[in-house]
Amino acid sequence: MSILKDKNILLGITAGIAAYKSANLVRLFIKAGANVKVVMTPASKEFITPLTLSTLSKNPVFSTFVDEDEDNGIWNNHVELGLWADLFVIAPATANTMAKMANGVCDNMLLATYLSAKCPIYFAPAMDLDMYRHKSTKTSFEKLIAYGNKLIPAGTGELASGLIGEGRMAEPEEIVTFVENDILGQLPLRGKRVLITAGPTYEAIDPVRFIGNHSSGKMGFEIAKAAASLGAEVILVTGPTHQKVSSNFISIIPVISAEDMYTEVHKHFNTVDIAVLSAAVADYRPKNVATQKIKKKESAFTIELEKTKDILKSLGAIKKNQFLVGFALETNNELEHAKGKLNSKNLDLIVLNSLQDNGAGFGVSTNKVTFITSSNDIIENELKSKADVAKDLMQLILKQTDA
């Protein structure tokens, strides 16, 4: 999963020969999971067709303020288009368009959208060598950067004129990488490592049967995605689950038992900045595990259980600078029990959810939680999707750690 996943990207195309690369740029943004819309200057349609870009982006292409549809004109709202975008990438950006952007000239749909946009704007210059080196072009660069726009440097190579030099638009792959790295560099958890546990554990009775619980792992997976979206490198230690995630920033370590999870968590704890233990770990396991399937012979059958290792408490005992978060699923005296765990296990934050709340707990996509901090702040939340709970949790961690 790219950091561009689910981003709304507006691609602006101007009238340069490098516009032929824009089709591949659209494809790469789509491949990264982004939503793409294209706005073109009227002259750019001489270099690449709106049909090609519309087909690749799966969205209409905009180039005029009004689309003529027989007797009815359809208004293209440049303000809405600018507000829709999370990112605006203008590639290629010709000398002509950059000069207009730098001086507030607004004579086409692309420029009007540029002046309306509230999102980060990237521009990738493309022109011949002498044009690129001209003082007026350098002035345009300076003005655009001073306005907060981000320059994607042009490359050096063979140009359309036959000259060899600077002015060649960055390749589509380079543009995507530049945008991704720029976003990542601004994320609050960039360079941080986050350890997360998810799902249930299965404690073997024999080779066929086990003791487990109803945890789906969804809450932990959502926390992993929320942490990754903030730039963190995530280590996700998960018990058996059907949940899936694909991200360049999340490393999944599958485990089965509480002992497996204990071992993996302790392997990584000293290298992380934040640990969120949301897994539903078994408190007990069979003391003796049969090596063969136990046959059904007796009318009653007794299994002797022993305690599993308390993973959360063991981390609280050895933590140094890590921010440690635990979960408490309670059915009675919820606040009292959660506060007791917070203190006894040396946590920085505990997330309380109660099976008494409709829509919370195992096997559902929603959760209703209360955050309790080590300074005894109690923050109650409404019923929300687990994705939103995960985002709220990560934002609270950011505040608590000043990350």
Task: Kindly state the tokens that stand for 211.
Answer: 């003791």
Query: Do the bridges between strand 323-330 and strand 284-286 make them parallel or antiparallel, or are there none, so unpaired?
Result: unpaired
Residue 50: cis peptide before it, omega within 30 degrees of 0? no
Cα torsion 188, 218, 31, 253 to 10°: value is 80
**Cα dihedral 228/232/238/243 (nearest 10):** 0
In contact, 164 and 158? CB cutoff 8 Å? yes
Give the span between the Cα atoms of 154 and 33, in whole angstroms: 25
What does the block give as tokens for 84?
């829709």
In single-letter form, the type of residue at position 274 comes to I
DSSP one-letter code for 170: P
In Å, what is the CA distance from 125 to each residue of 25, 129, 301? 15, 11, 76
Q: Angle formed by the axes of helices 135-146 and 95-103, to 10°?
A: 50
Closest CA to 110 of 169, 54, 152, 65: 65
**Nearest in space to 314 (alpha carbons), one of 340, 345, 344:** 345
Strand partners, 280: 200
Is 213 a residue of the active site?
yes
User: What is the chain's Cα-based Rg?
Assistant: 28
Q: Can you read off the two tokens belonging to residue 74?
A: 């359809």
**In Å, how far are 201, 228, 239, 294, 305 from 210, measured between CA atoms?**
9, 33, 13, 12, 12
Residues 6+ apart with CB under 8 A from 180: 2, 3, 4, 32
Residue with the two structure tokens 């990584």: 268
Collapsed DSSP state (helix, strand, coil) of residue 226:
helix
Q: How far apart are CA 138 and CA 146, in angstroms?
A: 12
Q: Which of 213, 270, 376, 381 is catalytic?
A: 213
Catalytic residues: 213
